[in-house]
Structure 1
Amino acid sequence: MFVESVVRWGTWSILLHFGLFGVFAGGCPPRCVCQPEAKEVICSGKHFNSVPEGFSSDTRRLDISHNRIKTVGRRQFSGLADLQELDLSDNLISMIEVEAFQGLQNIRKLRIKNNRLKIIPVGVFSGLSSLRFLDLSQNEILVFLDYTFKEMVNLQMLEAGENDLVFISQRAFFGLQNLQELIIDRSNLTSIPTEAFSQLQSLTSLNMHRLTITTLPNNAFKRLPRLRRLVISNWPALDTIATNSLIGLNLTSLVIRNCNLSAVPYSALRHLVYLNFLDLSFNPITVIQGNLLGDLLRLEELHLIGGSLQRIELGAFKGLVNFRMLNVTSNQLTTLEEGVFHSAGNLQVLRLDKNPLACDCRLLWVVRRRLRINFDGHQPTCFSPDAVRLRKFRDFAEKELPKLFTCRPASILDRRPQEARVEEGTTVLFSCKADGDPFPSITWVSSLKNAVSPTGRIRVLPNGTLEVRFAQVQDSGTYQCLASNAAGNDSLTVSLYVKGLPRNRTIPVFLEEGWVEPPNPQAANTSAQMAKPYPFDAKTLIIATTMGFLSFLSSVAICFVFMFFWSQSKGQIKHTATIDFVPRSSMGGGGGDGDGGRFTMKLI
């Protein structure tokens, strides 16, 4: 009785293990772990050299990862019609035969990550019309050929990162009309495969990491009307983004991180009117200029972490009524003025930590909002002045703020009148030195109310001095120096009178090589006339005249001799002769050949 019970219990255990009387009746391959309830077969890390056999026909998930499989044969899984997920990752697969997955009409996920594939023949993915997710990352794939994925009409995500891709054929993605997310990471592409991407009409997210591309050209992502998220990261050579590189896109999120941008690509961004998230972190950007982001009406967040940011100009976020978050941690900012924002009251999250902040009147607005603004757990810290150095914003009491967060208005130090009366061509300098806390900026305005730039013939030197080089009559007028800081402004007016020169005098002109004296046309003509040599000297003229005269005498003598012999001929003949002689010009140079001219004689 006891033996019978033991046998009966053993039989029940075996039946339960293999799926309750045949539910998982196909058996379980040796060394694999089978879970009948979930219909899963786990053969991971079992040192298989080839794909094992003996799977139950109703298996839904099959894991053969971390083995030593090198080849996947044709119709290798044809008996697994119910399979929904297959994992072949972390093997040594270098060859997958055409139609290897034929018969897996219900599969949703396929992972072939971290193998040794170099090329995928067309037809390998035949029969995978139900596949939603494909992971080909960490292989050695060199190229995606035309129509590689043509039957995967329902694929939604393709992970193709960390391959050796050098080329993606124009029709490689043909048939992926439902692909929504594409990831390309650490490849050898040297340009954007624009035509290949244009096949992905349903693409909503494109992630491109660790590439060596230097430029985003115009129309780089054309015909991607549904793309909403574009991530470009770790392109250390990328320093140029063309004006129309992003045109036609309706992005809501744009990430360009860890690249080599030295400035915010304003012209490329202005088309992105639906953008609400912008990340330009870890680029050597030094300034966010004023009034250049106003076209991004829906922008809510800007992240510029770990850059070289030194200044955010007034009006930088003007017009951005939805702006909620600014993250500029780990930069070189000394201040952030309230006038930077369209409405500072809308700001919810502000990251200013790890910046050398100067805690003066310019940051008073932040400190007074320290209980309402979310610093995301990272309190800003004062770097200067010494009285508040290393103090966190939350540590200040309200009553001490007016005494500590102060500024001294800008003041021009030397206010003595400056007036210059000079002749045309003279270089003039006007000094303008100012003091204040924070140190004021110097701006010069011409009599035409135009700001003078740091370059050109009339320019502002780094020390604030106005330089007028080679003054012209039209430069005459008044110039105003404006010294300004957050606490106030000061101004100084100077005068310049330039006297014109007489017409026979010259003034310098500006050429590409610099300022030079122009040549005097009259003097040049006179010199040319004096320097022009006569074509012949006296000796040459005498020789030419003599040779011409001798030629003339020779011709006349010949004529008379001929006439003499003619007159001695027979008969009474009346002779009439007409002689024409055209001597050769003596300017011909010498008559060395004895031909002195042309002789013509007519006898009647």
Structure 2
Amino acid sequence: MFMELSGQQGVLSLLLWYLSFSTADLTWPCPQMCVCRQDTLEINCSSKHLTSVPEGLPGNAKQLDLSGNRLKTLSRRQFYGLSKLEELDLGDNIISMIEVEAFQGLKNLRFLRLKRNRLKILPVGVFSGLPNLRSLDVSENEILVFLDYTFQEMGNLMEMNAGENDLVFISHRAFFGLRSLQELNVDRSNLSSIPTEALSQLQNLAKLRLRRLTINVLPNNAFRHLHQLRTLQILQWPSLDTLNSNSLIGLNLSTLVISSCNLSSVPYASLRHLVYLRYLDLSYNPIRSIQGNSLEELLRLQEFHLAGGNLLSIEPGAFKGLVYFRLLNVSSNRLTTLEESAFHSVGNLQTLRLDRNPLTCDCRLLWVVRRRLRLNFDGRQPACSGPALARRREFREFLEVELPAVFACRQARILNRQPQDIKTEEGANVRFECRADGHPAPSVTWLTPEQTPLSSTGRLRVLVNGSLEVRYAQAQDTGSYLCVAANAAGNDSISAHLLVHSVPRNYTTPSFFDEGWFETSLPPFSNSSGRVPRPYPFDAKTLIIATTMGFLSFLSSVAICFVFMFFWSQSKGQIKHTATIDFVPRTSMGGGGDGADGGRFTMKLI
């Protein structure tokens, strides 16, 4: 009896197992050549050489992978029965056409991937029926244009990748309806300008990436109305060399990357509005200098990256006022030093990247090497390129006792200290010498009697060798000039005195010299040997330009008159080319008699 009951239970168990298997098989049919997982509701038909969407897909599937096949066309309502589908991958096919409403019925779809196909255009309505789509990838296709209202029914879309296409135009209302879009990538296209009007439809956009475009100027108001934008990435624009002063106006960015472009200087005017900026990356641009006192309006800046450029100097006060500044990355540049005075407070600095720079290890870098145990070099230690006893040594290799001898400077010293007192007359050229020595090489500055620094241009100018040149000296140039030689170890100065005698004038006559027009002042009854040249208001270049413009104006007036006469003559109809004129000849006495014979002659108009 017991054995009979056990046998019956075994048969019943076997029958129940068979029925459950059959039911599962019926409720979860797997198309041929596909791999199905009922536990995760996944269908994988990837790389099966399919030329069409397989039939018999289970309606409760959540993931469908059709990538890597030979699909060419998606028909209307192609996936209509898959109302539970959440992810659909159609990447790496040869799809060239998608009919309108092809995705109709996929009301729960969250992710749609159409990457690496052959789409040239997205018809309006092709994405209808996708109210809950969150992510769309149409990158690496051949799309030429985004038409108005292409994405209007995708109100919940949050991320779209449209990069690596052949886009030449984005219509003004192409992004209409994308009220939830937060991230947009537009990489490598043929756009000739920023699609400002189209982007202005994206009121909630938080991250925008524009990579590998061929635009050379970022115009004013390029990203207007993007008040929620927090991250802007402009990458690999080899021709971008100019940012207009108001190109980033209206943005509240926290992260800005303008990398691998052609900027020759830090765009200070464009950055000054970005008071919420925390992360700034200008790497791989041919920028040569970071100026002093020019970034202080970026009050919240924490990180500054300028790696892989042509950076030669970071001026004192470069990061002045940046109380939250934590990280500086200037690796792979041409810097020889970095002075402590560049920072608001080196105590706040946490990470410093100075590696792969030709650093001269002297007193200017002593502050860095003394903090070598506290500073984070991100695993890349700076190394010395000079002097000889420190060459190729990393900062961590130096002992504290040898720092004063290695990281040393020699105070600036003016070599020629002989008094320089020059007396001359107006119109003469004067030069004062100022040669200095020291380590590092000192900078030479000349100050006027009013203590104003002189530049390398103008009538009073500082030459490359440190000398001061006064051209065509005037009486008002009289005074004491101060030469100051300075370096990190200290400074030295010396005065030079100039006295210019004015020449009495009675009348002036213009003369022309090699450098242009000058005014020559002659005292009474003097000959030409007493002339003192003075600048004349007009030089030769100005006269030539004025003469040329006057001649062109004359020719233009004559041409206009001839054209007017031609059209006027045409409007008069038929013109006679001959005319007969009657006349009465005058007598030899000067009067006309009654019996005098009349005359006539014929005149031909040429």
Normalised by the shorter chain, which TM-score bucket?
0.7 to 0.9
Report the structure number with the largest CA radius of gyration. 1
- Tell me the distance in 1 between the aligned counterparts of 2:460 and 2:18: 97
Aligned partner (choices 261, 281, 284) of residue 282 of structure 1? 284
Q: 1:404 offset after TM fit, Å?
A: 1.2
Note the C-alpha offset of 1:435: 0.1
Aligned match for 2:260, one of 235, 258, 261: 258
Mark the CA change 1:219 to 1:157 in structure 2 (over 3 Å): closer, same or farther: same
- Match for residue 72 of structure 1? 74
Partner of 2:191: 189
Please tell me whether the aligned partners of residues 72 and 93 of structure 2 are also in contact (alpha carbons under 8 angstroms).
yes
Secondary structure at 2:480's aligned position in 1? strand
What amino acid is the match of 2:294?
L
Q: 2:481 corresponds to which residue?
A: 479
Counterpart contact for 2:361–2:384, Cα < 8 Å: yes
Listed as ranges, the gaps of 5+ residues in structure 2 are 1-5, 524-585, 595-606
Cα distance in 2 for partners of 1:468, 1:507 equals 24
Would you say 1:451 and 2:457 are equivalent positions?
no
| Per-residue deviation, residues 307-360 of structure 1 (Å, max 9, x unmatched) | 000000000000000000000000000000100000011100000000000000
Partners of 1:27 and 1:521 lie apart in 2 by: 112
d(CA) in 2 for partners of 1:325, 1:508: 63
Q: Deviations over 1:353-384 (max 9, x none)?
A: 00000000000000110000000111110100
Show the 5 A alignment for 1:532-571: none
The change in CA–CA distance for 1:272 and 1:180 in structure 2 (over 3 A counts) is same
- Tell me if structure 1 keeps the 8 A contact 2:168–2:189: yes
> For residue 155 of structure 1, what is the aligned residue in structure 2?
157
2:321 and 2:117 mapped to 1: Cα distance? 51
- State the distance in 1 between where 2:256 and 2:309 align: 17
Q: Determine whether 1:98 maps to 2:100.
A: yes
Deviation at 1:497, TM superposition (A): 1.6
Cα distance, 1:502 vs. partner? 2.7
Alpha-carbon spacing, 1:508–1:299, altered in 2? closer, same or farther (3 Å): farther
Q: Classify the secondary structure of the residue corresponding to 1:497.
A: strand
Residue correspondence of structure 1 range 299-318 to structure 2 within 5 A: 299-318=301-320
Structure 1 equivalent of residue 342 of structure 2: 340
Which residue, out of 304, 327, 337, partners 1:325?
Answer: 327
1:286–1:510 Cα change, 3 Å: farther
Aligned to 2:347, the other structure's residue is in SS state helix
Q: Is 2:28–2:38's contact at 8 Å kept on the other side of the alignment?
A: no
| Number of equivalenced pairs | 526
Contact 2:511 2:520 in 1 (8 A): no
Task: Tell me the distance in 2 between the aligned counterparts of 1:159 and 1:261.
Answer: 27
**One-letter code of the match for 2:418?**
R
1:122-133 equivalence runs, <5 A: 122-133=124-135
- What is the TM-score when the length of structure 1 is the normalising length? 0.83
Distance 1:13 1:368, change over 3 A: farther
The superposition leaves residues 472-516 of structure 1 with CA deviations (integer Å, 9 ceiling, x where unpaired) of 2222212111100000000111111222223246699999x9553
Aligned to 1:108: 110
Matched letter for residue 282 of structure 1: Y
Q: Distance in 2 between matches of 1:183 and 1:191?
A: 16
8 Å contact 2:438–2:487 — kept in the other structure?
yes
Find the counterpart in structure 1 of residue 228 from structure 2: 226
Residue aligning to 2:395: 393
Q: Deviations over 1:551-578 (max 9, x none)?
A: 9x967xx79x99xxxxxxxxxxxxxxxx
Q: Kindly report which structure 2 residues correspond to 1:491-530, keeping only aligned pairs within 5 A, or say none.
A: 491-504=493-506, 515-518=516-519
Does residue 98 of structure 2 align to residue 120 of structure 1?
no
CA distance in 1, matches of 2:262, 2:58: 54
CA contact (8 A) 2:483 2:494 kept: yes
Please say if residues 506 and 517 of structure 1, whose CA atoms lie closer than 8 Å, have aligned partners that are also in contact. Answer: no
**Cα separation, 2, equivalents of 1:99 and 1:26:** 26
What is the aligned partner in structure 1 of residue 294 from structure 2? 292
Q: After superposing the two structures, state which structure 1 stretch, 160-169 or 413-422, moved more.
A: 413-422
Q: Deviations over 1:28-82 (max 9, x none)?
A: 1110001101001000000001111111000100000000000000000000001
* Matches of 2:385 and 2:510, distance apart in 1: 51
SS in 2 for 1:403: helix
Of 405, 422, 425 in structure 2, the residue corresponding to residue 423 of structure 1 is 425
Partner of 2:469: helix, strand, or coil?
Answer: strand
Flag the 1:142–1:156 CA change in 2: closer, same or farther, 3 A.
Answer: same
Q: 1:82 and 2:75 equivalent?
A: no
Cα distance in structure 2, aligned partners of 1:506 and 1:14: 122
State the secondary structure of the residue aligned to 1:170.
Answer: coil
Please state whether the residue corresponding to 1:444 is helix, strand or coil.
strand
The equivalent of 2:237 in structure 1 is: 235
Q: Distance in 2 between matches of 1:163 and 1:46?
A: 26
TM (norm. structure 2) is: 0.83
Aligned partner letter, 1:477: G
Aligned residue number for residue 491 of structure 2: 489
**Aligned counterpart, 1:590:** none
**Deviation at residue 7 of structure 1 after TM alignment:** 13
Range that drifts further, 430-439 or 469-478: 469-478
Instruction: Provide the residue aligned with 1:464 in structure 2.
Output: 466
Whole-angstrom distance in 1 between the partners of 2:589 and 2:337:
107
Task: Find the counterpart in structure 2 of residue 366 from structure 1.
Answer: 368
- SS in structure 2 at match of 1:387: helix
Alpha-carbon distance in structure 2 between the residues aligned to 1:20 and 1:118 = 42
SS in 2 for 1:344: coil
The separation in 2 between residues aligned to 1:360 and 1:346, in whole angstroms, is: 23
Partners of 2:279 and 2:316 in 1: how far apart? 21
SS state of the match for residue 492, structure 2?
A: strand
Cα distance between partner residues in 2 of 1:13 and 1:318: 79
Match of 1:246 in 2: 248
Q: Cα gap change, 1:496/1:42 in structure 2, threshold over 3 Å: closer, same or farther?
A: same
Q: Quote how far apart the aligned CAs of 1:124 are.
A: 0.2
Q: Give structure 1 stretches of 5+ with no counterpart.
A: 523-550, 563-604
Aligned to 1:173: 175
Aligned equivalents of 2:330 and 2:337: distance in 1? 11
2:467 and 2:241 mapped to 1: Cα distance?
34
Q: Does 1:442 align with 2:451?
A: no
Q: State the SS of the aligned residue for 1:517.
A: strand
Identity across aligned pairs (percent)?
60
In structure 2, what is the equivalent of residue 353 of structure 1?
A: 355
Find runs of 4+ consecutive structure 1 residues off by over 6 angstroms. Answer: 4-11, 507-511, 519-522
Distance 1:153 1:521 in 2: 86
Aligned pair partner of 2:413 in 404, 411, 414: 411
Q: Which moved more, 1:312-321 or 1:413-422?
A: 413-422
Taking structure 1 as reference, are residues 325 and 62 closer, same or farther at Cα in structure 2, changes over 3 Å only? same
